[in-house]
Amino acid sequence: MSVLIKNGRIVTADEDFVADVFVEGEIVSLIGKNLQVKADKTIDATGKLVMPGGIDPHVHLDMPFMGTFSSDNYATGTSAALFGGTTMVIDFVLQKQGKSLYHALEEWQGRSNGKAACDYSFHMAVTDFNESTKAEITKMVNDEGITSFKTFMAYKGALMIDDRQMVGLMQEVKKQGGMVTVHATNGDMIDFLVAKHRAEGKLAPLYHYLSQPEITEAEASGRFSDMAYYTGVPAYIVHMTCEGALNQVRRVAARNQKMYGETCIQYLILDASLYEQNFEGAKWVMSPPLRQKKDQEALWGGINQGSVQVVATDHCPFKWEQKLMGKDDFSKIPNGAPGIEHRMELLFSEGVNKGRISLNKFVEITSTNAAKIFGMFPKKGCVAVGSDADIMIFDPNEEHTLSAKTHHMNVDYSGYEGWKLKGKVKSVLMRGQVAIENNQINVKPGYGKFVKRNKINGII
Ligand code: URP
Ligand code: ZN
Ligand code: ZN
């Protein structure tokens, strides 16, 4: 199968020009003006943007969490990703405390093998670091191509590790050529505030937000950064929401540390006023919670200064009936929200169209940087000869409205119901296959491949 994409405006992290792209099999084979080649299929991209497919390095598909499972499985979640121009996701395998990393990996393989529509990889979340876990790190890196290790500084009793384990893990990961990533919030402080609010009978979703003040995130981000500095491991903070966390990344940049920061689309465009309603606020109960307008400004600033390298989703959807598990107690509301389908369109509409970020920056933070940071570049994250033909063709002018009635995620509400956006995904190539066209998906679950990633040295 060959595809010729004609006359599109090709935008990468550092280029912007009009040309044709010729795809043979799974790979981009030629880029140039007026290519004279015979193709099985031609797509006229005149007036459209031709950009690398999105990479979302923070999703939770079919994840057992807080007594239930996130509602998108590998088939529905990765199909929704493709509709939204995302061609690769990285999910989190969660080690069970007391069990091995391989035990968890096999569990995640059981839920994902043969089911993904787009390409995918795993971060390994280490929730119990000990001598036997330590011995598995080298196998993860060298045999499985899993080169990033997630840690949680919160969710005590289920996922959280203490600082002693953190430093031990960092030393081993550094030795093996990997990266340590973190959910950086102070779990003990949060648990104290949750217990206090519950004891006072303050049980509405608003108290989820009030139990995780900015300082809980800023403190943990600083502590994590200092431990990473001490060990020299390349490090990455996931889902940064606030100025206090961002300032820790800015601080350590001054000592030339290999430290990267991710935010998620919701933290850039939604704020904590959404919790000031009755149980409806449960739709946005996620950890960390939405913050203030001043934090949104800080995060947009951080993107432009290069302190925030990635905009992900932390896609972790729960249906309304699952959210109702916390009807009488905010601490029982499953944490997480849907986002995998609309990250690219929301960021384009709210970021590029509103003059907050450039088009090149858009590509950098939705695709290229994730590929570089997580050891997949230039196979992924660019439109270039020899790279996988993961390509999004995007109409920058088409207007549309988001709604749970039309989205493809397996969740019965939208955090963005009725939002009017300018800019729409028109076609998506997934390793050379025209996966999305005319609002239809043309690849089956199982087309997506597991991507083994390279070692990470923290240089992008
Ligand atoms: O609320 C969230 N973010 N749920 C998913 C788990 C996590 O902390 O990323
Ligand atoms: Zn998290
Ligand atoms: Zn997450």
> Which tens digit of pLDDT belongs to each residue from 226-257?
999 999 999 999 999 999 999 999 999 999 99
Q: Which atom of ligand 1 is nearest to the CA of 285?
A: 1
Residue 323 — pLDDT band, cuts 50, 70, 90? very high
Return the residue matching tokens 């993860």. Answer: 140
- Which helix or strand (DSSP H or E) is residue 83 part of? helix 74-83
Residue of the CA atom closest to atom 4 of ligand 1: 336
Mean pLDDT of the chain: 98
- Ligand whose nearest atom lies closest to the CA of 316: 1
Q: Are 72 and 62 in contact (CB under 8 A)?
A: yes
Residue of the CA atom closest to atom 9 of ligand 1: 314
Structure tokens at 83: 């509709």
pLDDT of res. 330: 98
The neighbour count for residue 18, using CB atoms within 10 Å, is: 12
432 CA from centroid of ligand 1 (Å): 33
pLDDT of res. 102: 98
39 CA from centroid of ligand 1 (Å): 44
Residue 438 — pLDDT band, cuts 50, 70, 90? very high
Q: What is the mean pLDDT of residues 89-111?
A: 98
Q: DSSP H helical segments within 232-331, as ranges?
A: 243-253, 265-269, 293-305, 320-323
Whose CA is closest to 37, among 61, 19, 63? 19
Whose CA is closest to 294, among 201, 214, 349? 214
List the CATH code of the domain at 2-51+383-441. 2.30.40.10
Same fold, 2-51+383-441 and 52-373: no
280 Cβ contact partners less than 8 Å away, ≥ 6 residues apart: none
Q: What is the mean pLDDT of residues 353-368?
A: 98
Distance of CA 436 to the CA centre of its chain: 21
Q: What is the pLDDT of residues 24-57, one digit of tens each?
A: 999 999 999 999 999 999 999 999 999 999 999 9
**From start to end of 54-191, where are the E strands?**
54-59, 64-65, 68-69, 86-94, 119-125, 148-152, 179-183
Residue 309 — pLDDT band, cuts 50, 70, 90? very high
pLDDT of res. 233: 98
58 CA from centroid of ligand 3 (Å): 6
Strand partners, 9: 18, 49
* Helix 243-253 / helix 293-305 crossing angle, nearest 10 deg: 30
Q: Are 316 and 63 in contact (CB under 8 A)?
A: yes
Residue of the CA atom closest to atom 7 of ligand 1: 287
pLDDT of res. 245: 98
Beginning with the edge strand found earlier in the chain, give each strand of the sheet holding 86-94 in spatial order.
54-59, 86-94, 119-125, 148-152, 179-183, 235-237, 259-264, 310-312
263 CA from centroid of ligand 1 (Å): 13
Residue 395 — pLDDT band, cuts 50, 70, 90? very high
Residues written for the chain? 460
Whose CA is closest to 117, among 409, 346, 411, 373? 409
47 CA from centroid of ligand 1 (Å): 38
398 CA from centroid of ligand 2 (Å): 34
The type of residue at 333 is: I
Structure tokens at 200: 């006072």
Q: What is the mean pLDDT of residues 112-121?
A: 98
Q: How far apart are CA 161 and CA 300, in angstroms?
A: 31
- Ligand whose nearest atom lies closest to the CA of 240: 2
Residue of the CA atom closest to atom 3 of ligand 1: 287
- How far is residue 359 from each of residues 72, 283, 338, measured CA to CA in Å? 30, 30, 25
Q: Report every protein residue that has its C-beta within 5 angstroms of ion ligand 3.
A: 314
Q: How far apart are CA 370 and CA 320, in angstroms?
A: 31
Exposure on the CB side of residue 23, measured as CA atoms within 13 A: 27
265 CA from centroid of ligand 2 (Å): 14
Return the domain boundaries, the chain: 2-51+383-441, 52-373
Q: What is the mean pLDDT of residues 401-429?
A: 98
313 CA from centroid of ligand 1 (Å): 10
383 CA from centroid of ligand 1 (Å): 31
Pocket of ligand 1 (CB under 6 A): 60, 183, 286-287, 314, 316, 335-336
337 CA from centroid of ligand 1 (Å): 8
- Ligand whose nearest atom lies closest to the CA of 184: 2
Q: What is the pLDDT of residues 195-211, one digit of tens each?
A: 999 999 999 999 999 99
Percentage with pLDDT > 70 across the chain: 100
C-alpha torsion sign, points 375, 432, 109, 261: positive
Structure tokens at 449: 């491949």
- Ligand whose nearest atom lies closest to the CA of 63: 1
Strand partners, 436: 428, 441
Q: Which CATH architecture has domain 52-373?
A: Alpha-Beta Barrel (3.20)
- Ligand whose nearest atom lies closest to the CA of 183: 2
Q: In a mutational test of the pocket of ligand 1, which residue from 315, 316, 323 has the highest number of ligand atoms less than 8 Å from its CB?
A: 316
Percentage with pLDDT > 90 across the chain: 100
Residue of the CA atom closest to atom 2 of ligand 1: 336
Q: Which atom of ligand 1 is nearest to the CA of 60?
A: 5
Whose CA is closest to 265, among 179, 206, 352? 352
**CA end-to-end span of the chain, whole Å?**
33
- Ligand whose nearest atom lies closest to the CA of 208: 1
Q: How far apart are CA 183 and CA 366, in angstroms?
A: 20
Residue 381 — pLDDT band, cuts 50, 70, 90? very high
Q: In a mutational test of the pocket of ligand 1, which residue from 314, 322, 323 has the highest number of ligand atoms less than 8 Å from its CB?
A: 314
Residue 390 — pLDDT band, cuts 50, 70, 90? very high
Residue 345 — pLDDT band, cuts 50, 70, 90? very high
Q: Are 86 and 69 in contact (CB under 8 A)?
A: no
Residue of the CA atom closest to atom 5 of ligand 1: 336
Phi and psi angles of residue 152, each rounded to the nearest 5 degrees, phi first: -120, 130
If you ran DSSP here, which 8-state letter would residue 388 be given? B
Gyration radius (Cα) of the chain, Å: 21
Q: Which residues of 90-113 are buried (b: 16+ CB within 10 A; e: fewer)?
A: bbbbbbeeeebbeebbebbeeebe
